[in-house]
Amino acid sequence: MELFLFFTTILQNFSVASPVAPEDIDLTPQESGIGRVPPVYQISFRSHRGD
């Protein structure tokens, strides 16, 4: 429940965007010894307030 409230608050107060164009993002998982690991992504948070 606490994680839901945390992420809801983040999404209400910030816009989440990628500095890279959506078509340039590689969604292919990287192979690991046991399973698949998601690649590292860069994201930016912009406040909805004018601070």
Is the distance from CB of 11 to CB of 47 less than 8 angstroms?
Answer: no
**CA pair distance 23, 11, nearest whole angstrom:** 23
Q: With a threshold of 0.85, does the pTM exceed it?
A: no
- For the purposes of burial, counting CB atoms within 10 Å of the CB of 14, is it exposed (0-12), middle (13-18) or buried (19 or more)? middle
pLDDT in tens, 1-32: 899 999 999 999 999 888 888 888 888 877 77
